[in-house]
Structure 1
Amino acid sequence: MLPGFLRDSYKQYKDDTDWFATWLVNVAKRSPQDPGSNVELSAAADNKYATTVSQLLAHGKAVAKSAIDVPASVLARARRAIKLRNDVTSHYLGKGDVASNRRHAHFVLVLEEICELLEWKTSKEKKDGKQPPPTDAQAWLNRFAALTVEEAEDIPESIAAATSKDIVKVEVVEEENTEEGRDAHLSEAYFRLLCLFHDLENWRAFISQTWTEYRDLKIDLMTASVVTDNALQLARDLINEVVDRWPHELPGGQMSLQELLYENACLARGVIEPPSTELGMTFNEKMADVADWAYVPTATLLNSFVPVMQKDTLPGCFGTYDPQADRANMNAPEKFNEDKLILLELLPGFCVVEMFNVPIPVKDEITRGFVEFARDKQVSLWLCFAAQILLDTYHIMRRSRLSAFDDLRMSGLRIARVIEDFWKLSKTHPQPRFWPKEGDEEIKRIRDCVSTFIEQDSLQPIRRAAAQEISHDLSEHPDHLLFSRNPVLSGTLMMHLNLRMQTVGQGLVTQWYDVQQLAFLYNLAQQVPGGPKLVWPDIEVFIKIHSESRIFVGDRPKDASQSLNRLEIATGISSAARFACNSRHRGGAFHRPDTDGSQNARALQPTTKVANLFRPLYMSGDSSRVISHASVEKLLDELSAEATAKTGKPKKGKKAAKELVLSAKPQQLLGRKWSNTHNIGPLQLLALIKSKLSEEEPVILFNYFGMHKRAVELLRLIRDKEHHKFSQYFTAGYMPDESMISNIVILVHHVARGSAMSGQQLGLASGRGSQVVSRIVVSCRDVMSAYLKKNGDAACRELRTFCKNKAQVKVLMGSGDDLRDRDADESFGYWFGLEEVLGPTAMASLVTGIPAA
């Protein structure tokens, strides 16, 4: 079942009509003009009062004759319901039987009549005759603004002194026409079915655009795959919800729903012809568009594969797919045959996974669904939808069909190189006591995963062994068939590996605490006047990712004393405790680094809000629901708080509505909608996930292992240059072993603070603007400056090379904010407006911020 806070088309339609009816009936019953004002409203068992369409019209006429003002949001919700129903049914009922059109539009006509009666009562101000009437787009913007801005407390003002106990919830009951048997299928249940396929069509278009953006290098593979995978999970929930509630008197089963939809469309269009079986299709060629809309072709292909899947057999292929063919010039039979080649090339791979229980680290919904199909041999509507999504990705990327696996391979090679460099570095120092054995084991497991599934093809040996066992001639298959033919699986595996690398990398830097301590030294060295300017882009990005307050325990320190105090707080080291008379650190050991300091250090945490939402699913393989009310509520509340902090407290009232719509960004409007209603549309959630996850790509790919490696190299250079001074100030045992090399930063801070205190005592810093600078800090700055000229932006160069979201890389490095905002809002605004049932012109105005002409 779809999570309760997500509103599909039908739920939105019912919410709007029932909400409008509730307002209308409760207002009308207090009007003397209402014919039923003296009748006591009796609520049903579920505390809802049922009213018919004709009764609703009578209530509307009574309110129109009264002196009650009608809030704009009331008519906005009614008109949204009208437009939604017209959009959903127009594909079928806009053609064919006129009587059916009239019968199906009866409720819509009544709603439109009520809206016309109440339209003039929405404005308290006197209309200026000189002003031209608003255009349709302007009217939609006003209605959308009312839906977005007006608070719930604006509505009860028009219900006199009614209390919440006096308000009766109303449910509209549409009268069914039972006189003609041929109209029995045109019921509200059938409209529910149309809404289901309407939503699936919109989700399919959204996923297609997502993969188009990936093909055009606008988003990364992880984002496209995660969005697709979760859209398929939501589609499964929505389909199951509709099927479970389908009336028993109508044909049951998910396949019969597709057949029912197709047959009724044929009747509505007057196409009474047999299927085009001579062309190899189970539907008529003239109805190919409706068949595709109802996923009949994919259902046919999947059902044809069921007899082939037999025990102790390995299904073969039915031809060779040509990605260079021009699909745009193909007719329906040619497209059908091409889809057959694509699906039947991939399905044997899923059979191998099911037959031999191949342990894939993380499975996407497509892989999971087809493995279940290979086991149960049951074709469902959801499986047809998932198969169509897989086909759509083929057709979008047909000129570069292997690009998704190429990205995965490149990511795997990058991870392998990072791990190899880490292992080389680890051989140059003793095994740290603070680094747990589990950390090394996790790094080895990641390297083995890259070797097994990316550098090698784990399925090929299994296929060969199985074919030899059953004496079956094995047809040649390209390597990595499963990953190269399923881009979603490639993307989820990439997400899996990068999240694991991020987690263990942050753990490594936390335990060594070398990068953080160098951030303190870098900040201190920047305060040295004169000399070369110290620039370290990588550490600036590191600080920006984790925030100054996390790294520096507040804002950036201003001097050596403040920097040392903050550093000791961050590392858990206390110099004051070591000076105490009862200190355990005796014999002048107060200056030695704390060998257990890393245990008390401030641990780094992932700052990627959206990626953290999916971390249990794609990192550990936890198949439990990710998009739950609690998790999404936490995410949207955080984003809503950020939007409110940027824009200030929202203005109330109708006059500010349009101003808000045109000035606020779509993501801010979504945050405001969530804070007001605590429900959103599935497409709005998916668009938000796509936008935010794409922004988080550089943060996910940030190389903590490389930062650790360069930190150790830089610290060694400082130690080699200043070893004699460290030995002089802190004895020869200032560093127990090289695994504690990061703590020489604390020693530098002690010397710098001592120099500053000595300078103050000697009066060297008494002049205005004068500053005492420690020689050792100047020396460290010179070492860092020489090293960072070559290695200071290594992590940034890596991000620029491997990240698809180049604009966000610039943002992370301190430029490109405007470009990032435009690109993100343009796509997000369209899908946000689509589920708000706005027209194309109004949506364009919403996205661009330009008022409709």
Structure 2
Amino acid sequence: MLPGALESTYERYKHDTAVLSSWLVQTAKRYGYPTPLEVTSGAPKAKSARLKGKARKQMNKTAGGRVNTATSGKRRYEYILAIKDFVPLAEFIATVNRPKPVSIPPRITTTLSRVIRVRKSFSTMLEKEGSAVDVDSDVKHSYFVGILEKVRDVLKPLFGALDLSEMYETVPDTSVNPFSELEVYEPSEAFLNAPDVDITTPDYVPEPEDTMEDAYFAFCALFQDVLSLRSRISRLWNGYKSGSIHLAAVSVAANTTINLVRQMEEDIAPLINKHGGFLRFIHLYFAATCITLGKDYKKTERPSDDINLDTYDIADHCMFSAWQCLDAFRRAHAPGHFQAYNGQFGEYDQSLDSAQLSNRMKYQQDKAALLEILGDITVVALVFKANPCEDEFTRGVRLMLEAGEVPFWVAFAAQIFLDTLRCLQGSNALRPFEEMKVWNSTIADSINTVMAFHREAKLRVKNWPPSNDAILKQLIGVCDFWVDDPIGALKQRRSMPFKPFLFLHRHAMFCGLWIHYVRTTFHESGTIFTMAWGTTLYTGHLYHAMRREALLEAARWDDMELLLALQGANAFFVGGPPRDVERDFKNYCLCMGYSAANWVPPSRQKKGQRPPLASTAGPRSLKTQADVSMRFMQLLGTEQGGGMTTEDVKLILAASQWTETREGDQIVMEKESSTPKPSASSKRKDELKKEEATPAEFVLKLALALQAEVAEVSFDYFSMHITCWSMLESIRKALDGKLRELFAPDYLEDASQLPFVVGYIFMAAARKEVWPGVDPLDLMRMAVPPVMRVIERRGHSIRDKLEKVGIAHVMEGGDDDDETC
């Protein structure tokens, strides 16, 4: 089911009716309603949403796989109100005049009008298709709508002079959407500014309706959300094509969109299955759309045509062609065998501009593209069991073949695939594949380099035993997985026709997901590696002190500046960047794990010597960042099923600090903090907006949150470690004689203590040890030449690599001046 923090159109409709029911009951009771209500117990609020027994088996079959049970938090209503009680409650409220007539909140009047308007349109929609509508269903529908209209008429004298026409907005008409009257619940400014209704958790819901018309309404509500999501993903892919958003951010958002449709399908599947299943409603939707636009959907130009090609745009709009192709592939599939496309519809040509093609060519290109990729997807889905990154399209094909039918969400996944192909034609067609190759090789090279660096220098520390190298070797293996085209190799072994790298050449979303997976894994392993060695943190301390003391002149260590900006000052320093050498030493010790109690003034210390006190927090280290990116890395595994929780949704809504604006054809990302702060009166509404979102709003927020984290997950901690270790080793060599003279011949016992060199420099600068004729900053000054040499040689390499692959980065200048390009 859809996570509780997200609301589909159908769920919002149900909530609207619950608000109306609860307001009628609560208001009538407040004024002494004398008649007992005919109510029954609804779903207990604490009850699990997990299906059991036959219901769970049916849902598994219908949805094409396991039911997601990790999405608790849906609204539950405690009581079911009989529809026949609506009018008596309204009539009683209308008679109240002590101490004055009841004031109807604007949101209630808006909600009532919206529910009536939405539901009244569906009898005519069904009639357009020409199918026989069940009489009992129609009577029950008319009865409920008549009840709502009667309630509105009874309460109308209490509405005052409220202009209902401005309290809501409807879906704009489109050329191929006969269901444009279906309300999507986009509130107007008047609605947002209206006084709140004191029904935060409605307890009453109307008795359930399960007629054919109710099922059709639920399907159309789902489809309205699907159209909105499809449009959102198309705009994001256009943003990628124009260079305003990164491939991984768009791909994760698109993949998540498919999963959201899957969960929305689960929410209404019991009602839809009772009336023939999703296949019936897809046909109904397609036929109704054709009839509305004056098209004969049964007519074909050639006997071999699957559809009337004059209806190509309608079929594409309704995802009818994608569903047909999937169903044909499913019926032809034989367990244990892989299909090879026979070329019946020609070959998909990525260089063609689909906008310039005839409907017949468009249809043939669509079928060729799907049938070619489905053969490769089947290999990935059924053979590559250890695939750490399974996209929803591939997962859907696997579950479709297991279930023996095409779930609605898998047809949506196929449609998203086709939409993406059309967007990335011509010179953009292979961009995702090329970017994937670059990231695989970049990450593998970085890890191979650091392992070779340690091997040649024979470096080993207690915190990073040899067994930990297996983590790095595994990541190298992941990066190298696609180098030799394993799909093509398997087909070649089985003497099957194949096109090299077709899966990756065509499946842009998978390329982006793979980049996201390897990059987040690279980030996670890199920060863990950095924590174990500690070199980067303490080298950053020394660099800060040298810059503050003006010892480096104009030299700037761009890579360290970037890391300081990404991790933040609090990750490097306790209590902010030190302002003098005394605080340098104190901060160093605190980060090493010694308590601040060691700096209690001598007058307050107990008599006698005491050993240094350890901090309860332990040593400080840099942290794994990018919470949103890391969470979605975990959701990509084959066994995860992509199921998000309500907590995941709230994480994204809270983390997404970026908004999308348009400047002509360009999409511009702006940080929310750069916009004027909201007034106190609007603060609460803004907070509520962040706690809930429509699916389309959520997908945009997710893409922008991932975009904002790209620099964090792309920073090369392994390369930074080599630079920092090389710098400390150069400093040690330059200061070795002086350190032996001032401290002890064995001032370092082994290589793992190399960061202690920074501590000795700070100890001297802070006068913790005083030597005749030695200036406190002498050791720091002696360290300047080796620092300058390393900065000149390696200090910009990470920044340069990121710029080459188009990664935005944040440079020094404080939070208010941070920029993402």
- The two structures have a TM-score, normalised by structure 2, of 0.78
Secondary structure at the counterpart of residue 754 of structure 1: coil
Q: Structure 2: how far apart are the matches of 1:459 and 1:532? A: 56
Structure 1 residues 355 and 75, CA gap change in structure 2 (3 angstroms): closer
Q: Deviations over 1:583-633 (max 9, x none)?
A: xxxxxxx99xxxx99x96324322212113223224x65515541123334
Query: Does the 8 Å CA contact 2:249/2:703 hold for their aligned counterparts?
Result: yes
- Mean CA deviation greater in 113-122 or 509-518: 113-122
Query: Does the 8 Å CA contact 1:18/1:172 hold for their aligned counterparts?
Result: no
1:212 aligns with 2:229: no
1:463 aligns with 2:491: yes
- State the shift of 1:416 in Å: 2.4
- The two structures have a TM-score, normalised by structure 1, of 0.75
The correspondence of residues 467-616 of structure 1 with structure 2, limited to 5 A, is 467=495, 474-478=496-500, 480-529=501-550, 532-533=553-554, 535-572=556-593, 601-616=619-634
Q: Deviations over 1:644-680 (max 9, x none)?
A: 99999974xxxx4xxx3xxx7xxx96643355xxx43
Secondary structure at the counterpart of residue 269 of structure 2: helix
- State the shift of 1:410 in Å: 1.1
- State the shift of 1:532 in Å: 1.3
1:407 aligns with 2:435: yes
**Aligned twin of 1:224:** 250
- State the shift of 1:525 in Å: 1.5
Q: Structure 1: how far apart are the matches of 2:30 and 2:219? A: 37
**Aligned twin of 2:103:** 69
- Mean CA deviation greater in 601-610 or 745-754: 601-610
Structure 1 residues 569 and 289, CA gap change in structure 2 (3 angstroms): same
Letter in 1 for 2:534: Y
Q: Structure 2: how far apart are the matches of 1:576 and 1:774? A: 26
Q: Structure 1: how far apart are the matches of 2:229 and 2:241? A: 18
- State the shift of 1:397 in Å: 0.6
Query: Does the 8 Å CA contact 2:569/2:577 hold for their aligned counterparts?
Result: yes
Structure 1 residues 563 and 321, CA gap change in structure 2 (3 angstroms): same
Query: Does the 8 Å CA contact 2:3/2:645 hold for their aligned counterparts?
Result: yes
**Aligned twin of 2:190:** 142
**Aligned twin of 2:777:** 774
Query: Does the 8 Å CA contact 1:266/1:287 hold for their aligned counterparts?
Result: yes
**Aligned twin of 1:398:** 425
- State the shift of 1:408 in Å: 0.3
**Aligned twin of 1:169:** 204
Give the length in aligned residue pairs: 727
**Aligned twin of 1:617:** 635
**Aligned twin of 2:328:** 304
Out of 647, 672, 677, the residue aligned to residue 688 of structure 2 is 672
Letter in 1 for 2:193: A
Name whichever structure is richer in helix by fraction.
Answer: 1
- Mean CA deviation greater in 318-327 or 811-820: 811-820
- State the shift of 1:369 in Å: 1.6
Q: Deviations over 1:154-197 (max 9, x none)?
A: 569xxxxxxx9xx97352778x9xxxxxxx85x22221111111
Secondary structure at the counterpart of residue 82 of structure 2: strand
- Mean CA deviation greater in 369-378 or 85-94: 85-94
Q: Structure 1: how far apart are the matches of 2:754 and 2:697? A: 49
Query: Does the 8 Å CA contact 2:107/2:196 hold for their aligned counterparts?
Result: no
- State the shift of 1:520 in Å: 1.3
Structure 1 residues 786 and 313, CA gap change in structure 2 (3 angstroms): closer
Q: Structure 2: how far apart are the matches of 1:2 and 1:449? A: 32
- State the shift of 1:734 in Å: 2.2
**Aligned twin of 1:784:** 787
Query: Does the 8 Å CA contact 1:756/1:774 hold for their aligned counterparts?
Result: no
Q: Structure 1: how far apart are the matches of 2:255 and 2:151? A: 38
**Aligned twin of 1:844:** none
- Mean CA deviation greater in 22-31 or 87-96: 87-96
Query: Does the 8 Å CA contact 2:296/2:308 hold for their aligned counterparts?
Result: no
**Aligned twin of 2:68:** none
**Aligned twin of 1:686:** 699
**Aligned twin of 2:182:** none
Letter in 1 for 2:108: V
Q: How large is the RMSD of aligned CA atoms in angstroms?
A: 4.3
Q: Structure 1: how far apart are the matches of 2:168 and 2:400? A: 52
Q: Structure 1: how far apart are the matches of 2:127 and 2:782? A: 81
Q: Structure 2: how far apart are the matches of 1:802 and 1:231? A: 26
**Aligned twin of 1:719:** 732
- State the shift of 1:144 in Å: 2.0
Query: Does the 8 Å CA contact 1:60/1:118 hold for their aligned counterparts?
Result: no
- State the shift of 1:3 in Å: 2.7
Query: Does the 8 Å CA contact 1:353/1:371 hold for their aligned counterparts?
Result: no
1:730 aligns with 2:743: yes
Query: Does the 8 Å CA contact 1:418/1:705 hold for their aligned counterparts?
Result: yes
- State the shift of 1:8 in Å: 0.7
- State the shift of 1:22 in Å: 2.5
Q: Structure 2: how far apart are the matches of 1:463 and 1:535? A: 53
Q: Structure 2: how far apart are the matches of 1:564 and 1:818? A: 29
1:366 aligns with 2:393: yes
Letter in 1 for 2:477: D
Query: Does the 8 Å CA contact 2:475/2:518 hold for their aligned counterparts?
Result: yes
- State the shift of 1:261 in Å: 2.9
**Aligned twin of 2:372:** 345
Query: Does the 8 Å CA contact 1:301/1:340 hold for their aligned counterparts?
Result: yes
Query: Does the 8 Å CA contact 1:48/1:170 hold for their aligned counterparts?
Result: yes
Query: Does the 8 Å CA contact 2:17/2:205 hold for their aligned counterparts?
Result: no
Query: Does the 8 Å CA contact 2:766/2:776 hold for their aligned counterparts?
Result: no
Q: Deviations over 1:719-774 (max 9, x none)?
A: 22212111212333222344432221112122222278679xx9x9xxxxxxx751
Query: Does the 8 Å CA contact 1:408/1:491 hold for their aligned counterparts?
Result: yes
Secondary structure at the counterpart of residue 570 of structure 2: helix
Out of 410, 416, 429, the residue aligned to residue 444 of structure 2 is 416
Letter in 1 for 2:803: R
- State the shift of 1:513 in Å: 0.7
- State the shift of 1:351 in Å: 3.0
Secondary structure at the counterpart of residue 246 of structure 1: helix
Q: Structure 1: how far apart are the matches of 2:154 and 2:785? A: 79
Secondary structure at the counterpart of residue 2 of structure 1: coil
Q: Structure 2: how far apart are the matches of 1:80 and 1:801? A: 52
Structure 1 residues 494 and 112, CA gap change in structure 2 (3 angstroms): farther
Letter in 1 for 2:347: T
- Mean CA deviation greater in 23-32 or 439-448: 23-32
1:19 aligns with 2:19: yes
Q: Structure 1: how far apart are the matches of 2:93 and 2:812? A: 55
Structure 1 residues 756 and 87, CA gap change in structure 2 (3 angstroms): farther
Structure 1 residues 413 and 111, CA gap change in structure 2 (3 angstroms): farther
**Aligned twin of 1:846:** none
**Aligned twin of 1:239:** 265
Q: Which runs of 5+ in 2 are unaligned?
A: 43-78, 171-185, 599-610, 658-670
Query: Does the 8 Å CA contact 2:528/2:624 hold for their aligned counterparts?
Result: no
**Aligned twin of 1:45:** 41
Q: Structure 1: how far apart are the matches of 2:411 and 2:498? A: 27
**Aligned twin of 1:389:** 416
**Aligned twin of 2:55:** none
- State the shift of 1:324 in Å: 2.7
Q: Structure 2: how far apart are the matches of 1:773 and 1:17? A: 76
The correspondence of residues 744-763 of structure 1 with structure 2, limited to 5 A, is 744-754=757-767
**Aligned twin of 1:470:** none
Q: Structure 2: how far apart are the matches of 1:288 and 1:59? A: 54
1:700 aligns with 2:728: no
Secondary structure at the counterpart of residue 749 of structure 1: helix
Query: Does the 8 Å CA contact 2:252/2:512 hold for their aligned counterparts?
Result: yes
Query: Does the 8 Å CA contact 2:381/2:395 hold for their aligned counterparts?
Result: no
- Mean CA deviation greater in 111-120 or 299-308: 111-120
Percent sequence identity is: 21
Query: Does the 8 Å CA contact 1:346/1:482 hold for their aligned counterparts?
Result: yes
Structure 1 residues 357 and 643, CA gap change in structure 2 (3 angstroms): closer
Structure 1 residues 687 and 495, CA gap change in structure 2 (3 angstroms): same
Q: Which runs of 5+ in 1 are unaligned?
A: 124-132, 157-163, 177-183, 468-473, 578-589, 765-771, 824-853
Structure 1 residues 414 and 115, CA gap change in structure 2 (3 angstroms): farther
Letter in 2 for 1:315: A
Q: Structure 1: how far apart are the matches of 2:545 and 2:114? A: 60
